[in-house]
Amino acid sequence: MRRLATEALLVLALLFPSARSLAATTTAAAVVTTQDELRLGAAWYPEQWPESRWDADLALMQRAGLRVVRVGEFAWSRMEPSEGHYDLDWLARAIAAAGRHHLQVVIGTPTDAPPAWLTARYPETLGTNADGSLRQHGNRRQFNYANPRYRAFCRDIVTQLAQRFGHDPNVIGWQIGNEYTDESYDAATRAQFQHFLQQRYTTLDALNQRWSTAYWSQHYDSWAEIPLNAESGNPGLMLEHRRFVTATWQEFQHVQVAVLRRLTAPQQFVTTNVGGLAWSENWDHYAMQQELDLASWDDYVGSGHLDATRNAFLNDFVRGWKRQNFWVMETQPGSVNWAPISNALDRGETRELAWQTVAHGADAVLYWQWRSALNGQEQYHGAIVGPDGEPLPLYDEVRQTGQEFERLSSTVAGTTLHAEVALLVDYDSRWAIDFQRHNSTYDQLQVLLRWYQALRRGGRNVDVVNATAPLDQYKLVIAPNLNVLPASLAEHLLQYVRGGGSLVLGPRSGMKDWDNALQTTLQPGPLAAALGAHVAQYYALSASVPIAGQSVEGSAETWAERLATDSPDAHVLLRYGHANGWLDGQPAAVQRTLARGSLAYVDTVLDATLTEWLTDYFLQQARVPPGPWPHLPPTVEAASRTGRGKTLHFLLNHGREPVTLALPWPATDLLDTRGRAPNQTNFITLQPHGVAVLEVTP
């Protein structure tokens, strides 16, 4: 009865008085144990194995240098075998066993995989697919994230866990669920969406006016008429649905965070692991991180091999969610089972992947999973130990990484990345462009990666942050895809420019307002007057177009816009060559000085050569110093972490051939012991997939 009585309160919580007020309702823990050591770990599922086997597995982990295990996130049916009857004694024994082997524990709340008794007895807790079909038991994520009854069950199981382990000295943190993913399209969730809209717009007249519902007779006379589906529709409705999904996941998460804050020790952190290679767009990652202590994500390669630039960007993207170091809660141990070709990474590549994440701000890396499951959907997934309990060939590589992490733990502790340049990401803009790409090849991630790669040359650190984040620390900020630009965000950016910052906008910027409606002031909308130029028309390109600037030539791809200058001091940096007649000779990039800073607009997707040239121009204009490694071979990546009076330079050879580098200053490779004390050197040889960590002390 207690559970049923609280469902009414949960319904009220679902009505979202403000999707952005959650951070104020729950204060993050004051003490978080994330930067006192460097950790390697794995996901361990003691419920899948005889208890007599536990110590053998934990001993192998300890020998491999693992220092943390994640447990419990798929074990709800073992924790609550029938409604209201809990069994956590086995988990207590597993946690104690881990402690005996000097392994710290992160408990995953099991709310991503409800037990069969729950979904059978309460079918309303199952999610509804976009086609109207009800999800069925036998997989995971079959639950309805918006259902108040399901949230009551989640609250109760988390309460039991927190009461039992909230002050256990072996438990250092909590992971809520596992890879939030699927929304629901049931009638009750649709009603919640309609109420969400009512609170945001107050009146139907306001909604109809702002969504331009006179188009195609979309006018609504009742909130109940507003649809909820996954099909293309009114751009205003589609954008609000994405915001609703974010708010609903925030509320789902908040139910558990509130319990954990109340019942656990402040040094136990709270996080959730983000899947979808971090770039998933189901919801706003920045908003979801507000009341969590620690960002974490699941870093998988899938088919093929490590895409070093993309993976570096994704790690920097995750670091930007909370603008602090993060954890990799899952990473592939050599191979996966779900990719089109689930090949194994090369020897040394798994270690290389782990060190790359550390180079970009990770303080822990956990493998998924420790041991191959005997059955289940992921029985072919890579592991460190086979179904027979014996180490797989990858074990020795993991062990080497674990020993290195342990040796460098105190050195890396307290360091992080510092950057003078940033890329901006905005979820409203991401959603708006992807709803209406206008060119199927317009890939926002690839646009970002092209700028990112140009900025990263020479080992320069780059932050990837929310468009609303404080920007004062940056000399140069590039916003390649800022499609939705309300007046408040425009003013935030103008304050940065007036204060001396250099801002570069990309194509499609300022086209839309908060409601995903076209601005009546042509692009870049509220920034057009400050730019001294505007976009007269846009064009999806079916072929590349020549483009040139002072002493440089290249091409424009995918998208182009016709810029018209409105002010004599709007300096043209690039012009189109012979194209479709409309673009011929027209500006492709302009820049204008504004107070102590500058504002630039690049109205197309430039090829790599032009992107590098223009990036160098902007860096020089903004007085950004060159990166510390000006002559890196193309296969070598460099990044740096600083703190506690030292700088650590990470060098990674992503190629399959050895590379010898001349160092710009004598340094010590902390990974190169070879049975002797590390010495300073002026040259270093990186083997294929090799890694070096160089310490430079002022």
CA angle 88, 92, 94 (to 5 degrees): 115
42, 366 Cβ separation under 8 angstroms:
yes
Spatial separation of the C-alpha atoms in residues 343 and 302, rounded to whole Å: 8
* DSSP states along 226-271: ----SS---HHHHHHHHHHHHHHHHHHHHHHHHHHHHHS-TTSEEE
Q: Which of 665, 557, 643 is nearest to 603 (CA)?
A: 557
Strands, E assignment, 558-690 = 559-565, 571-576, 587-594, 597-602, 605-606, 636-643, 646-653, 659-669, 680-686
* Residue 325 CB burial class (10 angstroms; 0-12, 13-18, ≥19): buried
Is the distance from CB of 19 to CB of 247 less than 8 angstroms? yes
Integer Cα distance of 694 and 664 in angstroms = 12
| Cβ atoms 83, 117 nearer than 8 A | yes
Known catalytic residues are: 179, 330
The CB density around residue 675, as the number of other CB atoms within 10 Å, is 4
* CA dihedral for 678, 680, 686, 689, sign (positive or negative): positive
Cα–Cα distance, 465 to 493 (Å, whole number): 13
Handedness of CA 225, 228, 232, 237 (dihedral sign): positive
Place of tokens 């809990």: 86
Helix, strand, coil % over all residues of the chain, rounded to 5: 35, 25, 45
Q: Tokens 């997939």 correspond to what residue?
A: 689
Rounded distance between C-alpha atoms, residue 359 and residue 76, angstroms = 36
What sign results for the dihedral spanned by CA atoms 622, 625, 629, 630? positive
- The sign one gets for the Cα dihedral 283, 285, 291, 292 is positive
DSSP character at residue 144: -
| Residues 312, 317, 321, 323, CA torsion sign | positive
End-to-end C-alpha distance for the chain, whole angstroms: 65
Amino acid at 306: L
Half-sphere CA count of 190, side-chain side, radius 13 A: 15
